[in-house]
Structure formats: structure tokens, C-alpha cells
């Protein structure tokens, strides 16, 4: 039987990357190199492994969505102003 | 850095605002988190008539801070201090103040500036008056 439980409504610090995704938690099977699993377990421990994976999936999904969205805006409005990008990057890195 | 979008920034996403595109790309490169307060979603979302670009913008957002009792009280405190009434503007500033270091992206810097000054927060303005989207950098 598939294991399900409700996603906790977590606070922002560290965990709310997951809070934006609604619905129950599902257990999945994925093929991952053992060396990678070992390194992640060594870093976060057994209990936090699922959260680490879920946050990594969320971050990658949002990152890809963002790049696709930028490409879409560029197709509508023209190439992005790289000087402006650099100015924003400088501001965000403070 | 956490980047908090207000309604003007969301509107900019559907208009010809190249500054907004540059901002998104810079956020991506700097691994900044983009936060869109749920109150801003309420002010921006108009059902099936909403621009598809806005719908896709939501998929690029890291988190949608919601208005619970605690954040509602903090927002109300800000409105009282600033003697203003915009719950959305107040909540945008409240979200930024609870996620410092933060940058507020707004098309209405005067109201945001007034709220920040009322809160007694020091801040810098980046790009003010040059683009459709102005950026306020909050520093504490």
C-alpha cells in the first residue's frame, strides 16, 4: 500500500521550498548512484534524506521553470540587457 | 538574498519590461530566492482572464509566504506606524523584513519607502526612477 501523509506547512527557513507544493507526500523509487546516496546520507543523515531529495527536486524544477520563463520573455521582448543583469547581480550579491 | 515581488512587479512580467527579465536572470545566477506574498497573488490573479505569463511566473517562485495571524498582526503594526491602509503593500514589507537580507521589487517605491521609513529600517534604493520596475534593497 502506498504510504501517504500530509505535507506539513513548514516555515520559510530551510523548508518552505516544499510548502508551495500541495498534496500528500508519496514514496517513490528512483535509481541513484550509491556513491551519491552515501555522500548525501553522510551530510544530512537518514532522517533528513527525503527532505534533502525533495528540496533538491523543487529547486531544480523552479530553476528550470525560471530559465524557460526568461527565454519566453526574451522571445517576446527581445534579448535581455546583459548590463542590467550585471547590475542586478551586483545588487543581489551584497 | 531574498527577492520579494509586489503587484507592480507581477504586472511588469506581462508588459514590455526588459528590466524584469534581467532581474529574473540575475536572481537565477545569484541563486536568490524569489518570494511572492499570497496577498500579492490575490491582487494579481483574476481567474481565467489572468495573463498566461503571470501563470508561468508563479512557477518560477520559490515560496508564497501566507498571511497567518502573526504576519497579519505585524502587517497591521506597519500600517499603524505608517498611517496607511494598503494591506498588500504592508504585507510585502512585512515579508521582506522577516526574510532579511531582502530586496523588494516594486513599481511603487514611494509607498514602500514610506512603510520602511515608518518601520525604522535603513535601506538603499537601486535603479529608482530609471526603469518601470524599481528595486529597493533593504539593509538591516
Give A32-61 pLDDT, tens digit per residue: 999 999 999 999 998 899 999 999 999 999
The yes-or-no verdict on residue A64 having pLDDT over 50 is yes
pLDDT confidence of residue B108? 80
| Best B1, B14, B16, B25 residue to mutate vs chain A (most A CBs within 10 Å) | B25
pLDDT confidence of residue A77? 81
pLDDT confidence of residue A38? 95
Residues of chain B short of pLDDT 70, as ranges, are 16, 127-140
User: Given the C-alpha cell 526568461, which residue does it identify?
Assistant: A70
A20/B64 Cβ within 8 A? yes
Q: Which residues of A touch B22 (CB under 8 A)?
A: 80-82, 84-85, 87-88
Task: Specify whether the CB–CB gap between B32 and A92 falls below 8 A.
Answer: yes
**Looking at the domain covering B2-44+51-129, what would its CATH class be?**
alpha beta
pLDDT confidence of residue A78? 87
CA distances from residue B70 to B37, B87, B97 in whole angstroms, order as listed? 14, 14, 13
pLDDT confidence of residue A2? 45
Interface pTM, i.e. ipTM: 0.81
The yes-or-no verdict on residue A13 having pLDDT over 70 is no
Chain B residue with minimal CA distance to A11? B65
Tell me if residue A81 falls in helix, strand or coil. Answer: coil
Query: Whats the size of chain B, residue-wise?
Result: 140
pLDDT confidence of residue B134? 56
Confidence of residue A6 (pLDDT cuts 50, 70, 90): very low
pLDDT confidence of residue A21? 86
Cell digits of residue B71: 504576519
pLDDT confidence of residue A84? 86
Domain tally, chain A: 1
Quote the crossing angle between the two packed helices B87-97 and B109-118, to the nearest 10°: 60
Domain enclosing residue A22, as ranges: 4-92
Amino acid at each position: 500500500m502506498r504510504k501517504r501523509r500530509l505535507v506539513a506547512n513548514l516555515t520559510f527557513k530551510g523548508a518552505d521550498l516544499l510548502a508551495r507544493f500541495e498534496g500528500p507526500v508519496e514514496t517513490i523509487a528512483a535509481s541513484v548512484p550509491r556513491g551519491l546516496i552515501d555522500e548525501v546520507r553522510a551530510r544530512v543523515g537518514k532522517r533528513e534524506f527525503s527532505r534533502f531529495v525533495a528540496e533538491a527536486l523543487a529547486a531544480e524544477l523552479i530553476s528550470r521553470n525560471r530559465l524557460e520563463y526568461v527565454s519566453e520573455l526574451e522571445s517576446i521582448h527581445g534579448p535581455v540587457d546583459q548590463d542590467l543583469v550585471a547590475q542586478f547581480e551586483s545588487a543581489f550579491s551584497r | 538574498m531574498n527577492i520579494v515581488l509586489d503587484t507592480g512587479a507581477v504586472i511588469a512580467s506581462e508588459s514590455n519590461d526588459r528590466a524584469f527579465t534581467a532581474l529574473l536572470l540575475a536572481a537565477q545566477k545569484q541563486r536568490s530566492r524569489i518570494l511572492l506574498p499570497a496577498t500579492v497573488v490575490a491582487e494579481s490573479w483574476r481567474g481565467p482572464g489572468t495573463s498566461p505569463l503571470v501563470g508561468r511566473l508563479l512557477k518560477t517562485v520559490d515560496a508564497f509566504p501566507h498571511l497567518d495571524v502573526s504576519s497579519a498582526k505585524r502587517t497591521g503594526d506597519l500600517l499603524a506606524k505608517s498611517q496607511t491602509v494598503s494591506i498588500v503593500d504592508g504585507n510585502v514589507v512585512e515579508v521582506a523584513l522577516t526574510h532579511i537580507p531582502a530586496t523588494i521589487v516594486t513599481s511603487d517605491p514611494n509607498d514602500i519607502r514610506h512603510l520602511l521609513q515608518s518601520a525604522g529600517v535603513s535601506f538603499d534604493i537601486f535603479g529608482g526612477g530609471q526603469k518601470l520596475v524599481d528595486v529597493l534593497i533593504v539593509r538591516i
